[in-house]
Amino acid sequence: MKKNSLILLPKNCIKYSLASIASIFTIIIVERSKEKCITNFSRITARVHRYERGCIFIARRTKQAPNILSIGNFLSRKFSTTISSKDIQSKNDTALEQSGLNNINNRKSDTLQEEPSNSSNSLDIIKFINFIKHGNDNDAKLFLSTQNYCTTIDDTLEFKNTLIQHLESSDKELFDKANSILNDQFIQGSLKYNLRKSDPQVFNLYNEISHERISEPYLDLFCVYFLSIIISRNFELSLPKHDVLEVPISNINREHLEKFINLLKKGDVEGAKTFLYANNYATTIHDTLEFSNSLRYHLNSNHELYNISDRFLKEYLKNSLIPTGNLQESIKFIQDYNQYSLMYYIKKSNPQQVLYIFKDLLQKEDFIFSDESKLAIFCAYIKSNENDLALNFFISNISSSQKFSLSKFTKNIQPLLKELEYNKAQEILRRHYIQQLSPNTKEFTNYITKIFSSKTKTTTTSALNLYEKLCDLGISLNSITYGAFIMGFLSHDRYTEAEFIYNDMIKRGQKPTRVIYSGMLDGFARRRGNENNKKINEIWQQMLSDNIQPDEIAYCAMIETNFRKGNIHKAIELFQQMSSDQNIKLNDVVYNRMIDGLLLNERVNEAVIIYDQMKKQNIFPNIITYNILINKLFDKKQEQHAMAILQDMQQFNIKPNVTTLTTLLKRQFQNRDINGVQKILNMFDSLKIQPNEQTYGTLISGLLNNFNDLTGAEFAFNEMIYKRGLFPNVQIYTNMIQGYVNHGKFQLAEQLYSDLLQNHFPTTATFNILIAGYSRANNLDKAIQYYHEMIRLGIRPTTSTYKILINGYFTSKNMFGASQIYDDMINANFIPTDPDLKKFCQTIAHWRSRQSNINQVLKS
């Protein structure tokens, strides 16, 4: 049997899918936890898939999946081990297409077994059994590798048969252990040789993951998975994200290690040097460390002999590279060797060796650790669960550097640590920096504010995690820190989180300050709903019971809340209390709230009185004041007052903004004054004011509803998107859909509805327009389709929805369809109050009664 003959899986095992590879694994790993293996396999394959975008396994390219039973026992049967030219050209088999095996002329040597192997030596079998009996599994594996046993399927089976002959029937446990080692050896040996022959990108990917030192029982599955990649390659992997950390496959022969050790034991220094030179060992720092590392495993617990050999190798390399013995070059070499050793062993996941070297180097006063060496030492402490020592080393040796960057540091340690180790390191650093931030300081408050200044989806999650971390660390926060969190969440309209921290603050014995009370009232005043009004009143009463005098922010929040509830007298009473408070100076914000609230409740005259009072107090109205007045006065048909306000605006030299012009544009549409509309539109250009979303909404709605101008509305809609870069809101989409429906352009209406779904959530009005349009067009099937879509999306049908559908069925003389809608309405607990809908329901009830009587007559 030739040494290093190419290992290939039999041809009927080529078409592996990921599932079938997992099936093989569960059979060849005896008495091992399947669930854990598959869990870890998922983790490994998830990492691989980051590099394998578009990876397609052979099973996806074949019409018929492989038979699990026929593949699963492939180690227990003999196969034809030669791939002939006929096999290569077989229509049903997939050819190997990896870069290292694409030369068909060389296929003759690519066999599992090129010549019959010799019978296994009895002495070797006994030696192998003794290794296992004494628990020396590593030695058993090295023995198989050294003697070239179990490198093919036939060879493995032959070795097993010989093994059985040397074992008693009672040695089942020993045989199971040996059988497991043989299976491991075959799979790993197959992988090692094929990796050398395969696409270099596969080899790099193996290096990238194998530095994690995959432990039993996952190593075999890891190997099988990579074998499957090699034999199924007809795609390109992307380049690995990190540099190759190590060469995981060593070709150092065990016999060579033994020979080298014997030479040192005899004191034959020159013989040892000649041996290294002849076999091309220890030519670089990396090669020397590879040889030294192999010796360490080979010598096992003989530390004294290992240390002697390690020093010898280092000295041998130094003399080879610096034959002149130059002192400066020698010192530099020793520095480089030691620095490289630290990084080498951490990449080999050997933290004990890293820390051993580190402690030894600490004895040398002139030794300066490089940045890479410091990374290795920190990671070694993390891997050894020496968390406190890791943090101390980080503080004293890494973060103290002027050039230190935390982001670069965490990025550099990630490839050196496993996922759980990296997460632990991050947590240690995070805790350290949280403690260093000194909560309850101005700097820390600014840090919280900076978090909330970001308007991303993860902002509030990050802030809440920070708060919980502070609490977990037992750090006592003051009112300023609590306030920063509360105001931050309210600025993002996250009322639940704000209320949680507010309640948690009180629970922890910290009383809210005036700033926190006012912030909570102002924030919750923006929220709608009866429950919210209740919460605002609770906060207000608690504020008063704590003898905290409200400021203008708290007063304004309560005034707005009462106006919204229709409690006009209470709102005015609060305004009078605030006016009499010597500590509060009324400003334009306070007056704007009053004017807005009064106009909301149809109190036009009082609003104008407050406006006049504002001017008498020398508090000059701003553009917000004028926009509130103009908009609400036009809505209330108070044109005379509105025109007076416009004159005041001109007198105080207040220039209109986009809200002002949009309000005036809406008024011109209501008056159906096309010249007035054009005049306002021209003002946008003359005043260099950019129209916004509300402007286009007003323009589109006005053109459709007041002038039935679909072409003009389409032009405005397209200009809004393609010229201004603005995004239509759901109301604009709905108006355009109505325009298309009214003009019978249902296909365009449906296209626009699809666009709406990509950006917004449709409203009741959206569905009612579509349902009504299709009902008028006598297409009740489409109308019902949108009715069901409406219910599916959780939007409750309204009176208009039920009326449109029932009337549509009445028109088409389909009483059964109308009766079904009636049942839907009853099942939804919808009680009709609209007179027309009530009549529809009565009609359906009478029809059902008649149908019941007819059915009874027919039965009798």
Query: CATH code at 512?
Result: 1.25.40.10
479 with 505, same domain?
A: yes
Cis peptide before 217 (omega within 30 of 0): yes
**Residues 626-641: tens digit of each pLDDT:** 888 887 777 767 777 7
Residue of 686 and 507 predicted with greater confidence: 507
Least-confidence region, from 213-222, 328-337, 818-827:
213-222
**Residues 608-631: tens digit of each pLDDT:** 888 888 888 888 787 888 888 887
Phi, psi of 494 (to 5 degrees): -100, 80
476 with 591, same domain?
A: yes
Residue type, 585: K
Could you tell me if residue 492 is inside a domain?
yes
Q: Of 231, 266, 288, at which residue does a domain stop? A: 231
Mean pLDDT of the residues in the chain: 76
308 with 182, same domain?
A: no
Residue of 217 and 499 predicted with greater confidence: 499
Least-confidence region, from 208-222, 469-483, 555-569:
208-222
Check pLDDT > 70 for residue 48.
Answer: no
How confident is the model at residue 28, as a pLDDT? 35
530 with 670, same domain?
A: no
Spatial contact of 543 and 554, defined as CB atoms under 8 Å apart: yes
646 with 661, same domain?
A: no
Check pLDDT > 80 for residue 790.
Answer: yes
How confident is the model at residue 167, as a pLDDT? 72
Distance CA 46, CA 40 (A): 10
Tally of CA atoms within 13 A in the half-sphere of 240 that contains its CB: 18
**Residues 403-447: tens digit of each pLDDT:** 888 778 888 899 999 888 988 888 888 777 766 666 677 878 888
The stretch 829-838 carries a mean pLDDT of 92
Could you tell me if residue 742 is inside a domain?
no
Residue of 42 and 292 predicted with greater confidence: 292
How confident is the model at residue 497, as a pLDDT? 92
Residue of 160 and 504 predicted with greater confidence: 504
Check pLDDT > 70 for residue 356.
Answer: yes
Distance CA 550, CA 34 (A): 66
The stretch 731-758 carries a mean pLDDT of 94
How confident is the model at residue 235, as a pLDDT? 32
548 with 642, same domain?
A: yes
Q: Of 434, 451, 486, at which residue does a domain stop? A: 434
**Residues 102-146: tens digit of each pLDDT:** 332 333 333 323 333 344 566 677 788 888 887 777 777 777 766
Check pLDDT > 50 for residue 518.
Answer: yes
Distance CA 787, CA 770 (A): 9
Distances from the Cα of 74 to the Cα of 11, 25, 765, 853, angstroms: 11, 11, 66, 76
Q: What are the tokens at 712?
A: 């003009």
**Residues 678-688: tens digit of each pLDDT:** 888 888 888 88
Number of domains in the chain: 5
700 with 819, same domain?
A: no
How confident is the model at residue 222, as a pLDDT? 55
Which residue range(s) make up the domain with 725?
655-731
Residue of 102 and 375 predicted with greater confidence: 375
Could you tell me if residue 2 is inside a domain?
no
313 with 426, same domain?
A: yes
Whether the predicted model's global pTM rises above the 0.85 cut: no
User: Long-range pairs for 285-289 at CB < 8 Å and ≥24 separation?
Assistant: 285/317, 285/336, 285/337, 285/340, 285/341, 286/340, 286/344, 288/313, 288/314, 288/316, 288/317, 288/337, 289/340, 289/341, 289/344, 289/345
Could you tell me if residue 483 is inside a domain?
yes
Distance CA 213, CA 219 (A): 9
**Residues 53-84: tens digit of each pLDDT:** 333 222 232 333 323 222 222 222 222 223 23
62 with 196, same domain?
A: yes
Could you tell me if residue 747 is inside a domain?
no
Could you tell me if residue 366 is inside a domain?
yes
CA dihedral for 601, 606, 607, 613, sign (positive or negative): negative
How confident is the model at residue 152, as a pLDDT? 62
Nearest-5° Cα angle at 462, 456 to 464: 120
Could you tell me if residue 557 is inside a domain?
yes
60 with 90, same domain?
A: yes
Q: Of 434, 450, 471, at which residue does a domain stop? A: 434
Could you tell me if residue 6 is inside a domain?
no
- Taking residue 192's Cβ as centre, other Cβ atoms within 10 Å add up to 19
**Residues 189-226: tens digit of each pLDDT:** 555 555 544 455 555 555 555 544 444 444 555 555 55
Number of H helices, E strands in the chain: 44, 0
Check pLDDT > 50 for residue 35.
Answer: no
662 with 773, same domain?
A: no
CA 811 to chain CA mean position, Å = 53
Distance CA 828, CA 787 (A): 14
412 with 471, same domain?
A: no
H-only helix segments in 601-722: 604-616, 623-635, 639-651, 658-670, 674-686, 693-707, 710-718
| pLDDT-derived band at 529, boundaries 50, 70, 90 | low
Spatial contact of 627 and 597, defined as CB atoms under 8 Å apart: no
Best CA proximity match to 192, nearest among 157, 222, 212: 222
Distances from the Cα of 586 to the Cα of 570, 603, 620, angstroms: 18, 21, 12
Residue whose structure tokens are 């009672």: 170
